[in-house]
Amino acid sequence: MDNFMDNRWILRGIALLVTLLLFMSVNLVPQSSSSGLGDIPFVNNKELVRDVPVTPIYDQHNLIATGIPKNVSVQLDGPNSIVKTAEMKKDFEVYLDLTSYALGTYEVPLKIRNISDKIKATIKPRTVRVTINEKIEKNVSVKVVYLNEKKIKHGYKAENAIVKPGLVTIVGSRYDVSQVAYASVGVDVTDANQTFSQVLPVRLYNKKGVQLPFITSPRKVEVTVPIVSESASFPIKLVQTGTLKDGLKLSSLASDVNAVRIYASKDWLDKFNGPIEVPVDISSFNQSGTYEVNVPTPNGAFRVDSSTINVNVNFDQEMEKKFSNIPINLVGENNQFEYKFTKPPLGKVVVTAKGFKKDLDAINPSDLNITAKVNGLEPGTRDVALTITGPKGAIYSLDFDTITIEITDKKSSAQTDENENSGDVGQSSN
């Protein structure tokens, strides 16, 4: 026994065996259920890796291939440590190379790459049946279908929906694309009483109304449903309110629209005959122009569209016009007296008429009557007030409110002249 333990080669063998056992214990899988030689690193092992994605390789811009699975399973067979690493990292790739295939249907093998050459990889399935077609794109407008439209809230209705985007794109083979007749979304309007928006999936249908299993881009669209009450158009009538500011005269008042739309229940609309009276407060305007005026909502109606209108307001503004050399007429003259104007010396004045252009343009100078009452006045220098009358629509003023008149007795004038004449004769006889 001592000789056996003293043998160097026997000791070296024991040491090697212990080292090997230690190495094997470190590489054992730490699971209670694992056992057998499959866990030994230099012993072959088999593992099935599921849900491995398939990478198709072909001209996807111009072609479309159908029948390609999204995922496959791969069985790995090789040294345990290498298989375990490949299973954990999944850094290998399963691909389907169609670059050398023309249009048609083929049985094409699946291939694998980026895997250790020490592993035998078996793809399940090994081949797939693929059909290659020319890629066709088609834009289809989206139609909106209202569901339960009769259950919309009483007095309201759904108008044309707004779809964003209004077109969707379908991609497929010529045959698949040719089957698509229209795209639509269904919107439930039960109890709707106001405008709302929803994001809804788009569905494709053939001519018979059968839904097709194709996908659109985008898959969903935003649909805005305008919910309004029943409506009808009625004429409007402008009603003038308020008092004009001084110096203004209303020339015309007109709206840029003749009618507006009223939203109300059908019963209300059937009974309402119109027109809609729109009050226009002219006291708030001080010059001609276009003004925004509110349209009132009649009692019982929901709303008016539009709620404001533009009203064109035109004013005449007061102006002045002068009339020169208008003669003064004396009223109540005494035949025994003579009357002479000293202020103004010619017995004529300037009349200023203030009013609106239309009224002023209608005034003729002969229509103006300037009078000074001299009845009862005794001879001498007298100041007399003037009065004026003229066509209506204007206010008149004079450059003189009063005039000055020299009144003389005709007899006194004649006696004076006679005395002057007799004095002249006596002097000449001397």
Rounded-to-integer distance, Cα 173 and Cα 66, Å: 9
Q: DSSP for 5-19?
A: HH-HHHHHHHHHHHH
Set out the domains of the chain in order of their start, with CATH numbers.
Answer: 36-134 (2.170.120.30), 136-229 (2.170.120.40), 231-317 (2.170.120.40), 319-412 (2.170.120.30)
Cα 352 to the center of its chain, rounded Å: 55
Q: What residues have CB less than 8 Å from 227, skipping those under 6 apart?
A: 152, 156, 157, 158, 159, 189, 192, 193, 194, 195, 196
Q: Which residue reads 């759904």 in tokens?
A: 158
Beta bridge partners of 220: 201
At residue 315, the pLDDT reads 81
Residue 418, pLDDT score? 56
Residue 401 CB contacts under 8 Å (≥ 6 apart), including other chains: 385, 386
Contacts of 12-17 spanning 24+ positions with Cβ under 8 A: none
pLDDT value of position 32: 35
* Residue ranges with strand state E in 194-284: 196-201, 203-205, 211-212, 216-217, 220-225, 227-229, 231-241, 248-255, 259-263, 276-281
State CA 327 to chain mean position distance: 68
CB 185 within 8 A of CB 200: yes
Residues 398, 369: Cα–Cα separation, whole Å? 12
Task: State residue 131's pLDDT score.
Answer: 94
| DSSP 3-state of 2 | helix
Fill in the DSSP letter of residue 378.
P
Q: Helix or strand or coil: residue 333?
A: coil
Cβ-based neighbours of 69, under 8 Å, separated by 6 or more = 54, 125, 128
- Tokens 């039960």, located at residue: 190
Pairing of strands 136-147, 167-172: antiparallel
pTM for this structure? 0.43
Amino acid at 184: S
Dihedrals phi, psi of 137, to nearest 5 degrees = -115, 140
**Cα 168 from Cα 234, distance rounded (Å):** 40
Q: Give the closest residue to 276 by CA, choosing from 233, 228, 241.
A: 233
Rounded distance between C-alpha atoms, residue 347 and residue 36, angstroms: 147
pLDDT 10s digit of each residue in the chain, 430 long? 455 455 666 667 777 776 666 666 545 444 433 344 444 555 788 999 999 999 999 999 899 999 999 999 999 999 999 999 999 999 999 999 999 999 999 999 999 999 999 999 999 999 999 999 998 999 999 999 999 998 988 778 888 999 999 999 998 888 889 999 999 999 999 999 889 999 999 999 999 999 999 999 999 999 999 988 788 899 999 998 988 887 777 878 899 899 999 988 888 888 998 899 999 998 888 888 899 999 999 998 888 988 899 999 888 778 899 999 999 999 999 999 999 999 999 999 999 999 888 889 899 999 999 999 999 899 999 999 999 999 998 999 999 889 999 999 987 665 555 555 555 544 444 4
What is the predicted pLDDT for the residue at 44? 80
C-alpha separations of 352 from 321, 398, 409 in Å: 6, 6, 35
The SS3 assignment for 303 reads strand
Q: Are 42 and 55 in contact (CB under 8 A)?
A: no
